[in-house]
Structures are given as C-alpha cells and as structure tokens.
Structure 1
Amino acid sequence: MAGAHGVLLGLSLQVGHKPEAPGSQNGRGWGESTQAWHCLPSRCYPVLVSLQLVYPSDFRLTDKEKSSICYLSFPDSHSGCLGDTQFSFRIRQCGGQRSPWHAEDRHYNSGAPVSLQREPAHYFGYVYFRQVKDSSVKRGYFQKSLVLVSRLPFVRLFQALLGLIAPEYFDRLAPCLEAVCSEIDQWPAPTPGQTLKLPVMGVVLQVRIPSRVDKPEYSPPKQCSHESLLPTPVVLASVHELDLFRCFQPVLTHVQTLWELMLLGEPLLVLAPSPAMASDLVLALISCLQPLKFCCDYRPYFTIHDSEFKEFTTRTQAPPNVVLGVTNPFFIKTLQHWPHILRVGEPKMSGDLPKQVKLKKPSRLKTLDTKPGLYTAYSAHLHRDKALLKRLVKGLQKKRPWDTQTASLRRHLLELTHSFIIPLEHYMASLMPLKKSITPWKTPPQIRPFRQDDFLRSLEHAGPQLTCILKGDWLGLYRRFFKSPHFDGWYRQRHREMAHKLEALHLEAICEANIETWMKDKSEVEVVDLVLKLREKLVQAQGHQLPVKEATLQRAQLYIETAIGSLPKDLQAVLCPP
C-alpha cells in the first residue's frame, strides 16, 4: 500500500493549548505526531488536532500538507456530525521531497482512463470520522479520524476499506492499524484492466481497475467460481463511481444546467449540511463529464483554515475555475461575488420526488441563513430533458432500486457528454495527415491547426443533433466551451496522442523500408542522425507513449545495429561504448 495505493494517518481532537510551533514532530515508533491549532467557533475552549500515527513511517509530508490534512479531517462546528461519517477532500501538494509513487505513474496512467489517472500535483484524502459521547474525555466526546491519503481517485474502494479498518482502529488503536497495513502492503499495484482480490481483516474486496479501452458501461465483475482458500469476496461494483441518484436528489431538475456549468469550468460553491453531503455532491458533479477529464480545480471539502482560502476568496480578480464543497455558511458572505452558489439541505420528500432546490438570482443571497437554492444568473443553452425526470419520478413511484435510478442518470449524462464530444473528435481526426503522406526518410507532416470557425460550420452536417434529441443553442455552448480550461485540456491531450500516432506511423514506415539501399549514398552524419532518431523513438515506445507493435520495435533495433555497423570503428565506439 505504501507504494501503490496511499498512506494511513490517525488523528484526534484534544483539549489543549496552542502549540508553540505548529507542525512540530515527535517520534512515535512506527508513526509520528504533529499538532495543528483548530479553532471551532461554537466552542469556548482551545482544541488541538493531533496527528498521532502515520503509516508507512518513512512517508514524508511537508508541514503545510500536514496542517491541511489536520484541518480537513474533522467536520467544522457547523456540521454537528454525531456517530460515524465518511467524506473526502483534495489538497495541493507542496514542494519538498516527493513520494516514490511517481515511479509507477507512467505505466498506470498509460492504461487508465484520463479521469482516473494519478495526479502529480494533488493528494486525495478519504476520511472516516467518529464522534460519540464519552465522559472519560475532557471535552465529553470521543473524536477521532482515520484518513487514507492517496493520489488515486478511488473513492468507492477507499471508503469501503476505511469502513472495515476504522471501527477496529478506534477500539484498538496502533496495534490493529499496524497489522492491517502489513496485509495491505501485500496488495498488488493497481493495473488497468485487471480484477484484483484484496484481502484485509478476514474480508476480500474484489475490484476491477478500469481501463481506457473499457466500454462506457462496463458491467461490474462477478464473483469468481473457482476454488480458493480466501473467503468469498465482497464485490465492489466500481472503485470510483458514487451513487449519483442519491447525490443529486435535491438538484435533479437542474442536472443539465449543472452539467453545462461543469463543462464550461464555471466557479461553483456547494454549501451542504455535512462534509459527507458536500464532498459527495462535488465528486458527483465533476464525474458528470466522464469520459472527458475534469481539468479545473475542485475541493470536495474546504474550510476557512485551508492554505488556499485567501487565494480562492480574493475579490481583486475573477473567481478561480474551482468547485468548492463547504459546510460553513460564512462562505456565502465571503463568496457573494461568485457567479454560481448551490445550497442544499437535508434530503426531504415532496410528493413522489425529493424536494428540489429552486433556481434563484444571485441578488437573493443576503444572509448566512439563505434558503436552499441554485443561485445563478446563468441561462442554460440546452432545453431540459423532461423525459429523464419523468423516468426518475416513475422509478421512485415503483420503488426501483437506487442503483437502477443511478444507472439511468449516469447513462443520460454519459450520452450527453458523448454527443457533445463526438463532433469535436471527428473534426480533430480530420486534422491528422493522411498515412500515405508519411514517408520513411522525411520528417512527418504536421497536424493541421484547430480552426474554431471551421469546426462550427461543420456542425450543420456533423453536429450533436445526430446523436442527441435535446434541442437548444449548441453553437453557443461550443463557443463558451472554447474559452474553458476543459477545451484546452482536451485539445492538448488529443494533440499529444495524435503526435504520438504520427511518430509511430513514421517508425513503421522506416521499418518497412530498405535501410541498406538508403545508406548507399548517405554521409556518416546522416546515418548517425538516423541512429539517434530511432533510439529516441524506441525510448518513447518503451515508455508506452508510442502505439507500436513488438515486431516493429525489434525491427527498429535491428536497423540501429545495421546502421551502426556501417560506420567507422571510432564512430561505432562512440555510439556503442563498452
């Protein structure tokens, strides 16, 4: 787990005095301890967040990262969470020594969907928090969190894992956690396309790691029927997908508007009664764009103690492209200048449909006790899909399972995103040089530039109306999309993939040509240049960046050896040192 999945941290709330040096460390055997000042507005005494245990002990976090994790691992005083609750957060990585996970990124990311790749600049935090009355504690409450920090966005898997570990950890503390982590250390690294059995605490979690070649609606893995010494596995339907219908209960009538806001990378504040609701709703929102990668910043749970608080709340510049999940109503006052604010309450039913938030003008944001609603002046470009809402209401009336409702909602969003992206993909493919224009001994032709006006003209005959029944101002939506971080992210990714494809086709063309014939009238400089270029392409291919067959790689290596063998001995010694 240390190298492949993440790091576990145990934290607690304690009465105490403000430490002289926040972030100071004390050796704690296989872990370490640090403390951060935690001001709870509704409390009249000082509270410390104590980071008690870290596993593996050699994992290093900067003081700033430790402080952020401490603050984000406990609900603020406005949440009033009693009992057990789980939620997620995401923090920016700071400078300093980096984790060893980076060594495994290239292999995993090459096969993983873009939305599930490891992030080099952020950590995900998965929290299991318990708050229960305890007269033996000075504050009157037992308050502890077990946190798993990872660069993998596997919220479903890690929440299930913490659900097994945390209750035992709260009762037995370090010895239990150390034994569990020894088990997890034996888990295989996540490999896209593979189904893994992950034993922990007498239970086997069975999960399939998604691959970028999966079909959009891949069915969950079935329990294996062959004999095994392990217990019958608990099959998780997904490592990352949340229950969309549960998350979107109060905003079902506004799903398409929210989808557009996510597509355009608009700033959005989500205020919910608890960290669990806030973080789940934010994660559900950013998942709306799958398979398109969400290229903006997002923080499933965010507090006023976060190191980026000033950066996100400044009024001297336009609001950043970020989705924030919060529980403190103070943010409504602080971020009144933001263009979109979504406030939701506890789930309630109104007839056959969960009570829906209303669409309201931002000018209605006046006080901290502002009523639930979507406060925005944004006017959706596409007409609402009334048939979808009708299906979901009918499902509620017939008491359909929630996973069935979620599947219907997810399929709608997936089809909507595909309908929007397919014309872009078709136009981008038309910019690729023809294969017949790629010759062995010349530099490959360039990918033609993306011209927005040409693309918009192509929509008349190849637009989303071919695959989507929704009417509306598709042209206006594309124009705004071109200005968003998501277009830039999508275009860079596709251009990089096409460039790699060009390099692969060029390598194949060279390997299909007769190198001896080519070398007859070539100077030593030209032959050396060919050797260096072929070696560069081999390095790219071996790093999974070029889509080429193994036979092509072997032939390229043979060509390199042939070319070097034709050179004088002194040049051979330079190109192939002993």
Structure 2
Amino acid sequence: MEDESEGSLSPSQDSIQTPAVLPWDRFSNWLHCACVVTFDLELGQAMEIIYPSHIRMTEKEKMNICYLSFPDSNSGCMGDTQFHFRIRQCPGRKQIIKSHVEYNRECPIQLKSDDAHYYGFVFFRQTKDRSIRRGYFQKSVVLISRLPFVALFSQLVSIIAPEYFENGEPSLEAACHDIDQWGPPVPGETMNLPIFGTVLQVRIPTHKDKLVGAGQTRTQSVPTLPAQSILPSLFEVDIYTAFQTILPHVQMLWELMLTGEPLVVMAASPSVTSNTVQSLVSLISPFHYCSDYRPYFTIHDSEFKEYTTKTQAPPSVILGVTNPFFAKTLQHWPHIIRIGEMAGEASVPKGFNKLKKASSLKTLDCKPGVYTQYKPFLMKDKGILKRLIKGMQTKRPVEAQNAILRRHFLELTQSFMIPLERYMASLMPLQRNISPHKGPPSLRQFDVDEFVKTLHQSGPQLTSIVKGEWDGLYRKFFRSPNFEGWLYHRQYEVNQKLQVLHMEALCQANLLDWIQDKEEVEIVDLVLRIREKLKFATNNSVAVKPENINKLEKHMTTIISSLPEDLQSVLNT
C-alpha cells in the first residue's frame, strides 16, 4: 500500500483519499431536521418524531418548536393550515456546515445561512375524528432549517405533509432520503431538486445578480424536466395579498422597517401573520433587515417576557400574533397592524382601513387597520395606489399586482441606497496611495453630518419622484440596527477589496531591489506582512487570483533565502 501511494493516483486511490460523504451530510445542506408534532391529552403539544433520529436539540428548542407548530387554540383553524416561524438557536450549539460557509460567500446578504436562528415551516392538519377522545385529529409536519428559503420550504412541506398524513412515517423517511441526494445550494446555479417523483426547479440567487425590478433576477433559460414545478423565487412571498387591506399605509410601513421600529401584526391565523411579517421584512430589499422578527409568536415562547415587558421601551422586533391576549399585553407598542378577514377584490377600494392612533387600541375587539402615531418623513406616492386600485377594478392577476408593488419598493429602496453607496465609495483611499512597502490603507470613517450635506446635490431626488424630508429619514435610519448591519457589511467588503488591491501591489513590486538597503528588522516585517497576505488568501480563495498567491510565495521564499541562516531558520519554523 505504501509503495503504491507514492506513484500516480489511480481512480480507486483517489476515492480512498477523498473523504466519503457520510449519511445525512447532504441533508444538512438544506434542512436541520423534519419533525412531527402531535397533541397529547396530558402534555399538550408534543414532539412525536425527529428525523433524522441522530439530530439533537435542547429541551427549550423542542418546546418552542412544539408550541409554534400549532395555530393558537383561539384561531379555530380547521382543515390544513400552512405558516412559518423563526426561533433563536440555543447558544453554544453552533454547527459549522462546510457548504454553508461556501454558500455564504456568494449569496445575497439577506439569504445567508443563519447560525443564530432556526426557521420552521409548518403544515398543520385539524379534522374531526370521533375515535379520538378530544374529537379532533391535530398534527403538524415541520421542516427546520438555518436557511431563510421561505418560498422553497413552504412548497416542500406542502408536498411532504399530505404524503405523511396518508402513508405515515415511511413517507417522511423517504422524503428525507430524497433531500439527502440533493447537491449543496450554489449561488448562481439553477437546481433540480427531486421529491416524491416530482422535481422542484429553483435558481439560487447570488450577490452579483442584477435586480430587474419585481425582486426577480435575469436568469438563463434552463430545459425543463417531466413532472417539474418551477419556483419563480427561492424566498419571496406575496406582498400584495399581505397588504391588500392596508395599501395606503405601505409606504409608511416601509419607513418603519427601514428605521427598525418595533411593530406587532395581529390576525386570526398564523398563515396571515407569517406572510405579513415576511412581507414587511422584504419591503426594504435589497437591504438586509437586521433586527429580530417572529412571523408567528405565542405566549409560550421562551422570549415572551423579554418582548412584552412594560418596564422598558419595546425592542426593535416585529411580532406576528394571533392570541387576543396580545391586544392588551402589547397595547403600549407604538405601531400595531390588525389584519381582518380578506375582503373580496371588488370591494377592497372602498374598504381600505384608515390610519388610527395607537392610543385607540384599547379594546380586544378593535377594528382592523394600522394603529400608530408615527408621522412619515416622505409624502405619499399616490400614483402607485391608483395603479393598484385600477388593477383591482380590471381584475389584473394577483401575480402582476405583486410584481408592480415589489418593483415600486425596490426602486424606492434603491433610491435611498444610491447616496449611501456613493458616499461609501468616496471614503475609499485612492489606488495610488496603496503602497507595497506599507500596510494596506484603511477606509475613512462614515461621518453622518458630512453625508447629510451631500444630499442637497446628490440625494434620492435624482432617482425618485417621492418628495419629503429625506435627511430626517436618513438620520433616523442611522440610529437603527439596519444601518449598523449595512455599514459593517460594506466595511468588511471594502476592506477585503483593499486587501486584494494591496496584495496585487505586492505582487507587482520588485521587492528584491527594495530590500537591498533595508535593515533586517524591516525585511522581517515585510516577510511577516506577506505571510499575513497568504493567510488572507487562503481564507478568501474566491477573491484572490491563484497566480497572485504563487507570486507571493515565490517572493517570500526568495526574500527569506537572502537573510542570514539563523534568521532563515526562525522564519521557516
């Protein structure tokens, strides 16, 4: 065996050296686990199955999943109900998934794998059954993931759950084995994902995608397969249906999302709350919403006390709730949306809910609408409302209405972002100041007052027809977690770029000439700097060209060999 390994690798030897894919490795690229939650007369909601069986969760995580897997008892959801939730992962249990590290490098920031939260996708069934003591069959199939692929996993659970209710546990096992055959999510690729004889086709977005308007990206045409379901998006929800009864107030809600204001959504069903909360979060896309949000939240949640305390101001979080108890518990919150039963298309233009003062939310049976005392910074764009109302009257398809609304808010958000990006570019050091003989230059600090002064000449008025107090909106945004998150991410990206540019300057410099008249301490400093660059290159293989790595390694070897032997031995250890 030893002699053979010294020769050229044969295919069989290659397979020996490559680590084999372990069972369920590929499954964890997409899902953490699949669960079945049932109603136990003595325990209430209880975890019946966790698949794969080796998956471990804390008791707190299990408890949160169980309580969030059923609609609230007051909602009276008969038949099938679908919704999703988001919970905190317990600290100290982080699992590094190699494919997620690679995926996170190339995906849009709002679609990154989340190592602090789980997303749960629920298919709940409640039917009358006289053979059960309570008189009802109540059970949920739940898919748990670290990936916020709301559209994909909602579709997936709608395929898996009915099969499970029909055929029992073997069908859940078969579904998990199908998922375990999927390749890892690769940004930029269109993937075919087989499940129970059908194929879900979906494109994984990349951070380099050029946004076309309705939140969609230009994609290449891919041949379709038999029995195939093509998903137009991996993660988008129908924002038009979610906001249908409160359309006149959506621009104000966009401001509340942008500035990270606390907000609660109250409705009768978790389907409505989860869709509305997800729609709110996506209103500011391509900004990443950096505060916490809970598409469905119950009084049993482990964060209940933290989020409902009256001893301090409400935290920056969006809660979706169905229990009437919250109308009293959260009546001190500054912004509340109550969603009633969806009106018919024809009656919606007459039935829009007017803005109501937050203080009027005193009774448990208050009317649907938006309750707030917030004064928007921007004037309302009435054109988009007229266009959508006309669409209702002419029976324009919901998909088209949704696309129009998405395009409107994408363009509004981009108008808000352009001055920020322009100012960020001005903080970059000039390329001529990048010297191979010094450390990489750093980005100048973001100065809020300096930025606001730029708005008069190059503000959003250049790209948006919406008028108003833009500078006031920016100043409020600068105090929000969304600004902190955006700035941190942009600084990281720019500093990565500066490191690459500095590395290129080092590669192109004649370092052997430079070291001729230098002290040993300066030469050692240069070697250590090159070593740091190589470490950076190893950790950021996508950003750095392989030929630059080779050049730097040669530079370092040559420079070390020019030093005295005692120093060479120190630097080579």
CA distance in 2, matches of 1:410, 1:422: 18
- 3-state SS in 1 of match to 2:46: strand
Superposition deviation, residue 512 in structure 1: 0.7
CA displacement, residues 166-219 of structure 1 (integer Å, 9 cap, x when unaligned):
001112221111111111101011111111000110001100000001011244
- 3-state SS in 2 of match to 1:118: coil
What is the CA RMSD across the aligned residues, in angstroms? 1.8
Structure 2 equivalent of residue 291 of structure 1:
286
Superposition deviation, residue 305 in structure 1: 0.2
CA distance in 1, matches of 2:499, 2:294: 38
Q: Name the structure with the higher helix share.
A: 2
Structure 2 equivalent of residue 255 of structure 1:
250
Superposition deviation, residue 400 in structure 1: 1.7
1:16 aligns with 2:41: yes
Structure 1 equivalent of residue 498 of structure 2:
502
- 3-state SS in 2 of match to 1:520: helix
Superposition deviation, residue 547 in structure 1: 3.3
CA distance in 1, matches of 2:73, 2:134: 14
Contact 1:132 1:143 in 2 (8 A): yes
1:134-149 equivalent positions in 2, closer than 5 A: 134-149=129-144
1:6 aligns with 2:1: no
Which has the higher mean CA deviation after the structures are superposed, 52-61 or 536-545?
A: 536-545
Contact 1:87 1:127 in 2 (8 A): yes
| TM-score, reference length from structure 2 | 0.91
- What amino acid is the match of 2:178? E
CA distance in 1, matches of 2:94, 2:474: 39
1:51-450 equivalent positions in 2, closer than 5 A: 51-101=47-97, 103-217=98-212, 218-219=216-217, 224-225=222-223, 231-349=226-344, 351=347, 353=349, 355-450=351-446
Structure 2 equivalent of residue 488 of structure 1:
484
Which has the higher mean CA deviation after the structures are superposed, 520-529 or 306-315?
A: 520-529
CA distance in 2, matches of 1:220, 1:339: 40
- 3-state SS in 2 of match to 1:191: coil
Superposition deviation, residue 533 in structure 1: 2.3
Superposition deviation, residue 525 in structure 1: 3.6
CA distance in 1, matches of 2:385, 2:471: 25
1:470-549 equivalent positions in 2, closer than 5 A: 470-544=466-540, 547-549=543-545
CA displacement, residues 283-327 of structure 1 (integer Å, 9 cap, x when unaligned):
000001111110111000000000000000111111100000010
Structure 1 equivalent of residue 463 of structure 2:
467
Superposition deviation, residue 357 in structure 1: 2.4
CA displacement, residues 212-232 of structure 1 (integer Å, 9 cap, x when unaligned):
010112447576338xxx634
- What amino acid is the match of 1:503? Q
Superposition deviation, residue 529 in structure 1: 2.8
Contact 2:109 2:288 in 1 (8 A): yes
Superposition deviation, residue 128 in structure 1: 0.9
Closer/same/farther in 2, CA of residues 13 and 53 from structure 1, 3 Å limit: closer
Question: How many residues of Structure 1 are paired with residues of Structure 2 in the alignment?
Answer: 544
- 3-state SS in 2 of match to 1:528: helix
CA distance in 2, matches of 1:338, 1:224: 48
Superposition deviation, residue 57 in structure 1: 1.9
Contact 1:259 1:288 in 2 (8 A): yes
CA distance in 1, matches of 2:274, 2:185: 24
Contact 1:220 1:238 in 2 (8 A): no
- 3-state SS in 1 of match to 2:29: coil
Closer/same/farther in 2, CA of residues 96 and 62 from structure 1, 3 Å limit: farther
CA distance in 2, matches of 1:84, 1:535: 59
Which has the higher mean CA deviation after the structures are superposed, 392-401 or 122-131?
A: 392-401
CA displacement, residues 126-163 of structure 1 (integer Å, 9 cap, x when unaligned):
11111111122221111111111111110100011111
CA displacement, residues 406-426 of structure 1 (integer Å, 9 cap, x when unaligned):
111000000000001111111
Structure 1 equivalent of residue 9 of structure 2:
none
Contact 1:207 1:221 in 2 (8 A): no
Superposition deviation, residue 52 in structure 1: 1.5
**Gaps (5+ residues) in structure 2?**
1-25
| TM-score, reference length from structure 1 | 0.91
- What amino acid is the match of 1:198? L
Contact 2:209 2:217 in 1 (8 A): no
Contact 2:423 2:451 in 1 (8 A): yes
Which has the higher mean CA deviation after the structures are superposed, 303-312 or 510-519?
A: 510-519
